[in-house]
Chains A and B, each alone.
Chain A
């Protein structure tokens, strides 16, 4: 999900960029030249999953999976999502550079929260399949609900009552995204837990 450049007002852009700067500063403390390739590869995965579309009727929705990124990376989600969004802004004009602080915050903050809350449940080698699926579903729910809530707050702070219709439409449009993201994240976490049980204790 991106908020297009030019939509948010200057105070909202400055406030969100400040929060993102804090998240980036904490995330970058966990990044070293040795772990750089792993972080870059996760950023590439985040970039690519956005190109997977699930058809719904005449349209389609694309995966967000920020909850999964949070489970895998924790605080590192901030720099990883930041660079992926910067590249999307450059290549496709999704989001844009002055809104990159806002867009990073609305995707990375719920991801980081999902990671902080749920990663402890996946540590070690003993996570059952049921636990993997439940944690995956909860991570996606935190990711999508958090992102939608933050986007709604940002739009509200920009237009107030005038954008109430747009905010309502945004929330309604996220329901199918939430259902699809929850199922895909749960299944992906289940598969990853079987194939690479240590993946969730990796701190890239």
Chain B
């Protein structure tokens, strides 16, 4: 178990959203390029100093870049005249930089954050408590339902089932979906009965409260301040293409 202190979830989530918003609002390719450069340097620093395995980051980046390759192929080339479409190329370049910036930033800032932490952090930033509680419950129920699905997968493999394109595979998939729903409903009924049997009839949402903002250590705020300074500096870079 790691004892490394991680900044408060609200500040990490706020920093992620700030970067997402700044990237969405920025048109300048140079500013976006600078942001991406900083994000890559931050990833390298994390990999070296915190010994973080970057394979997961790389996997996430590869996935989004496959989509971006399709964007480049469809938007930047005028296939009728086999020529470069400048408007499309500029749009594809902006998109590529934005997608890579936000993917990298979210991967680093929300590193090792659980669904429970995310729900609490989001409520701390103003999301309705009901949604935060739903997210926290989803995290708990997902692990249990995943076990059920794994058991079903194993049982199907034991009967020599192999998914292929055909009606049989679709039928088995439909059975799996129906079984998961029936299992979820049965479990929900059992949960509800158990809670009522214990006299649980609350109107309170089951979610842990956040620490008061003023109680947060000053070092936690540094993450948000650093993000604000970096974004500000990147936005100040003049756009060479602008007239």
Chain A residues within CB distance 8 Å of chain B: 4-10, 13, 24, 28, 31-34, 36-45, 47-49, 51-57, 63, 65, 68, 72, 79-80, 82-84, 86-87, 89-93, 96-99, 159, 161-163, 165-166, 168-169, 180, 183-188, 190-192, 195-196, 199, 202, 204
Contact B91 A163 (CB under 8 A): yes
**Nearest residue in B to A98 (C-beta to C-beta)?**
B20
**Nearest residue in A to B104 (C-beta to C-beta)?**
A93
Instruction: Name the B residues within 8 Å of A89 (CB-CB).
Output: 106
Kindly provide the distance from the CB of A37 to the nearest chain B CB, expressed in whole angstroms.
Answer: 5
Instruction: Name the B residues within 8 Å of A86 (CB-CB).
Output: 118, 122, 135
Contact A13 B113 (CB under 8 A): no
**New A-B pairs, 13, CB < 8 Å, besides A6-B100, A33-B205, A45-B181:** A4-B99, A5-B99, A6-B103, A44-B142, A54-B173, A55-B164, A83-B138, A86-B135, A87-B115, A96-B20, A98-B21, A99-B20, A187-B178
Please measure, in the bound complex, the distance between the C-alpha atom of A31 and the C-alpha atom of B137, giving whole angstroms.
13
Instruction: Name the A residues within 8 Å of B180 (CB-CB).
Output: 45, 48-49
Q: How many residues of B contact A (CB 8 A)?
A: 81
Contact B91 A159 (CB under 8 A): yes
Contact B106 A97 (CB under 8 A): yes
Instruction: Name the A residues within 8 Å of B97 (CB-CB).
Output: 6
Instruction: Name the A residues within 8 Å of B70 (CB-CB).
Output: 166, 169
Please measure, in the bound complex, the distance between the C-alpha atom of A57 and the C-alpha atom of B165, giving whole angstroms.
8
Contact A162 B88 (CB under 8 A): yes
Kindly provide the distance from the CB of A140 to the nearest chain B CB, expressed in whole angstroms.
Answer: 11
Contact A47 B185 (CB under 8 A): no
Instruction: Name the A residues within 8 Å of B95 (CB-CB).
Output: 6-7
- Residue B170 CB within 8 A of the other chain: yes
Assess A41 versus B177: contact at CB under 8 Å? Given A48-B149, A92-B60, A98-B102: no
**Nearest residue in B to A180 (C-beta to C-beta)?**
B170
Contact B99 A188 (CB under 8 A): no
- Residue B191 CB within 8 A of the other chain: yes
Q: Which of A31, A37, A180, A185 has the most CB of B within 10 A?
A: A37
Contact A39 B177 (CB under 8 A): no
Please measure, in the bound complex, the distance between the C-alpha atom of A187 and the C-alpha atom of B212, giving whole angstroms.
50
B134, B144, B170, B203: which contacts A83 (Cβ < 8 A)? B134
Chain B residues within CB distance 8 Å of chain A: 13, 16-17, 20-21, 23-25, 60, 63-64, 67, 70-71, 73-75, 79, 85, 87-88, 91, 95, 97-103, 106-107, 110, 113, 115, 118, 122, 128, 130-131, 133-135, 137-142, 144-146, 149, 163-165, 167, 169-171, 173-178, 180-182, 184-185, 187-188, 191-192, 201-206
Contact B182 A184 (CB under 8 A): no
A43, A93, A180, A187: which contacts B60 (Cβ < 8 A)? A93
**Nearest residue in A to B131 (C-beta to C-beta)?**
A79
A45, A90, A168: which contacts B145 (Cβ < 8 A)? A45
Please measure, in the bound complex, the distance between the C-alpha atom of A49 and the C-alpha atom of B148, giving whole angstroms.
13
Contact A36 B141 (CB under 8 A): no
Kindly provide the distance from the CB of A192 to the nearest chain B CB, expressed in whole angstroms.
Answer: 5
**Nearest residue in B to A136 (C-beta to C-beta)?**
B174
Please measure, in the bound complex, the distance between the C-alpha atom of A180 and the C-alpha atom of B172, giving whole angstroms.
12
Assess A162 versus B87: contact at CB under 8 Å? Given A33-B206, A34-B192, A93-B60: yes
Q: Which of A63, A84, A188 has the most CB of B within 10 A?
A: A188
Instruction: Name the A residues within 8 Å of B167 (CB-CB).
Output: 183
Please measure, in the bound complex, the distance between the C-alpha atom of A197 and the C-alpha atom of B188, giving whole angstroms.
17
Instruction: Name the A residues within 8 Å of B175 (CB-CB).
Output: 187-188, 191
B60, B130, B141, B174: which contacts A37 (Cβ < 8 A)? B141
Please measure, in the bound complex, the distance between the C-alpha atom of A83 and the C-alpha atom of B133, giving whole angstroms.
10
Instruction: Name the B residues within 8 Å of A43 (CB-CB).
Output: 134, 138, 141
Instruction: Name the A residues within 8 Å of B98 (CB-CB).
Output: 5-7
Contact A90 B141 (CB under 8 A): no
B118, B146, B178, B188: which contacts A48 (Cβ < 8 A)? B146
Please measure, in the bound complex, the distance between the C-alpha atom of A49 and the C-alpha atom of B234, giving whole angstroms.
41
Q: Which of B98, B149, B170 has the most CB of A within 10 A?
A: B170
Please measure, in the bound complex, the distance between the C-alpha atom of A9 and the C-alpha atom of B60, giving whole angstroms.
22
